[in-house]
C-alpha cells in the first residue's frame, strides 16, 4: 500500500482551484482593455495556442467572456461554424479553431 502525503481528493481540489483561478484571470485579461476589438484580438491569441487553463473551458463560456457577446450572439457564432457550444477548447481541431477565429474576425 502506497503512503500518500495528501489524500487524492485534496490534490484534485487544489488542482481545480488552480484552474478556476487561472481561468478567471484569463477572462479578466480578455475584458481588460474595455475595447471590444482588443478583446477579440486577445481571444484570437487564445485560439491560436490554447493555454493549459483554457483547455477545459467550453466554447460557449469562452465566447461569452468577450465583451458584448451574450448568449444569443454566442449561439449564432457557434451555429455558423457548426460547433457545439459545450465542446471544450482543448478538444477542437486546428481546422475548427481556424474556422472560429475567422468567424470572430468577420464579426469585428
- SS3 letters across 17-39: HHHHHHHHHHHHHHHCCCCHHHH
Task: Let me know: does 61 contact 23? Beta carbons within 8 Å.
Answer: no
pLDDT digits (tens, 9 = 90+) for 1-34: 555 688 899 999 999 999 999 989 988 888 886 7
CA 32 to chain centre: 16
Domain at 8-106, CATH class:
mainly alpha
Domain map (residue ranges) of the chain: 8-106
Spatial CB neighbours of 5, under 8 Å, sequence gap ≥ 6: none
For the segment 51-75, the average pLDDT, to the nearest whole number, is 91
pLDDT digits (tens, 9 = 90+) for 58-68: 999 999 988 88
Amino acid at each position: 500500500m502506497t503512503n500518500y502525503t495528501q489524500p487524492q481528493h485534496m490534490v484534485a481540489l487544489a488542482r481545480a482551484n488552480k484552474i478556476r483561478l487561472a481561468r478567471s484571470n484569463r477572462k479578466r485579461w480578455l475584458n481588460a482593455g474595455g475595447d471590444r476589438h482588443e478583446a477579440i484580438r486577445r481571444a484570437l491569441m487564445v485560439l491560436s495556442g490554447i493555454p493549459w487553463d483554457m483547455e477545459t473551458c467550453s466554447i460557449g463560456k469562452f465566447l461569452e467572456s468577450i465583451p458584448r457577446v451574450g448568449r444569443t450572439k454566442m449561439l449564432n457564432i457557434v451555429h455558423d461554424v457548426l460547433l457545439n457550444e459545450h465542446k471544450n477548447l482543448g478538444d477542437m481541431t486546428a481546422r475548427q479553431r481556424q474556422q472560429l477565429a475567422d468567424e470572430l474576425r468577420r464579426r469585428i
